A and B are shown apart, each in its own frame.
Chain A
Amino acid sequence: MLSDKKELSGITLIILFGVLSPILFPNYRIQLSELWIFMVFASTWNIQGGKMGYNSFGNIIFFGLGMYLCASTQIAYAFDLAEWTAAGGVKTFVHTASQYFIGLPLGLIIAGLVPALIAGFLGSLILGLRGHYFAICTLGIGIAAGEFATSVSIWGGGQGMTVPVWPKVDGQDLDFLGGGMNFFYTLSFLLFVSTFFTLRWLFSTRFGLILTAIRDNEDKAEAMGIPTMRYKVTGWVFSAFFMGIAGGIYGNINGYIEPTEVAFAGATFGVYMVLMTILGGKGTLWGPIIGALVFQVFKEFFWTFFLGWQLVALGFLIIVIVVFFPEGIMGWLRQKKPAWFGEVVDSKARLAQVKINTND
Chain B
Amino acid sequence: MILLQAPFLNLQALLDGVMVGSIFALVAYGMALVWGVMNIINVAQGEYVILGGYITFGIYKLGVSPIYGMPFSFLFLFILGYILYRLIVFRVVDKDMFISILATFGISIMIQQFMNMFFGSQVETALTGLGTIFFFDGNITIALVKVFSFVISILGAIAVIYFMRVSKLGRAIRATAQNPRAARILGVDTEKVYAYTYAINAGLCGLAGSLVAMTYTLHPYIGLPYTVRSFMIVIIAGLGNIPGVLVSGLGLGAIEEFSAYLIGSEFRIGVIFSLLVIILVYRSKKLAKKREYLK
Contacts and interface: CB of A to CB of B under 8 A. Distances in A.
Answer whether A and B touch in the complex at a CB cut-off of 8 Å.
yes
Interface of A: 55, 125-126, 128-133, 135-137, 140-141, 143-144, 147-148, 150-151, 267, 271, 274-275, 278, 308-309, 311-312, 314-319, 321-323, 326
Given A130-B294, A326-B99, A319 B107 contact: yes
Contact of B269 (A55, A135, A143, A311): A143
B282 to A, nearest CB: 10
Given A135-B98, A318-B109, A322-B103, 18 more contacts: A126-B281, A129-B293, A132-B97, A135-B101, A140-B232, A140-B277, A143-B270, A147-B270, A148-B270, A151-B270, A309-B113, A311-B112, A315-B105, A315-B106, A318-B103, A319-B88, A319-B106, A319-B107
A42 to B, nearest CB: 14
Nearest to A219: B293
A150 B285 CA distance: 30
B112 A126 contact: no
A360 to B, nearest CB: 26
Nearest to B111: A315
Which of B41, B97, B98, B274 has the most A CB atoms < 10 Å from its CB?
B98
27 contacts: A126-B284, A129-B293, A129-B294, A130-B293, A131-B295, A135-B98, A137-B276, A140-B280, A143-B270, A144-B274, A144-B277, A147-B269, A148-B270, A150-B266, A151-B266, A309-B113, A311-B112, A311-B113, A312-B110, A312-B114, A315-B105, A315-B107, A315-B108, A315-B109, A319-B88, A322-B92, A323-B92
A128 B286 CA distance: 11
Contacts of A125: 281
A143 B293 CA distance: 24
Nearest to B95: A326
Which of A125, A129, A135, A308 has the most B CB atoms < 10 Å from its CB?
A129
Contacts of A136: 231-232, 235, 276, 280
A148 B107 CA distance: 29
Nearest to A57: B101
A185 to B, nearest CB: 30
A144 B112 contact: no
B165 interface: no
Contact of A267 (B110, B224, B235, B281): B224
Nearest to B235: A136
Closest 3 CB pairs of A and B: A318-B106, A315-B109, A144-B273
Contact of B280 (A133, A274, A317, A321): A133
B97 A137 contact: no
B260 to A, nearest CB: 14
A315 B113 contact: yes
A53 to B, nearest CB: 10
A321 B232 CA distance: 27
A314 B102 contact: no
Contacts of B224: 267
Nearest to A130: B293
A274 B101 CA distance: 11
Interface in B194-209: none
B237 to A, nearest CB: 13
Contacts of A55: 98
B267 interface: yes
A221 to B, nearest CB: 13
A129 B108 CA distance: 27
Nearest to B291: A222
Interface of B: 41, 88, 91-92, 95-99, 101-103, 105-110, 112-114, 117, 224, 228, 231-232, 235, 266-267, 269-270, 273-274, 276-277, 280-281, 284-285, 288, 293-295
A9 B204 CA distance: 54
Contacts of A150: 266
Given A135-B98, A140-B273, A147-B269, A128 B288 contact: yes
B287 to A, nearest CB: 9
A117 B66 CA distance: 54
Contact of B267 (A130, A151, A308): A151
A221 B149 CA distance: 51
A129 B284 contact: yes
Contacts of B288: 128
Nearest to A151: B266
A136 B102 CA distance: 14
B163 to A, nearest CB: 27
Contacts of A319: 88, 103, 106-107
Nearest to A127: B284
Contacts of A135: 98, 101
A178 B281 CA distance: 49
A228 to B, nearest CB: 11
Contacts of B109: 311-312, 314-315, 318
B22 to A, nearest CB: 23
A121 to B, nearest CB: 12
Which of A141, A317, A319 has the most B CB atoms < 10 Å from its CB?
A319
Contacts of A312: 109-110, 113-114
B280 to A, nearest CB: 5
A68 to B, nearest CB: 16
A143 B106 contact: no
B110 A129 contact: no
A126 B280 contact: yes
B99 A322 contact: yes
A151 B41 CA distance: 30
Which of B266, B267, B270 has the most A CB atoms < 10 Å from its CB?
B270
Given A132-B41, A309-B113, A323 B88 contact: yes
A136 B228 CA distance: 10
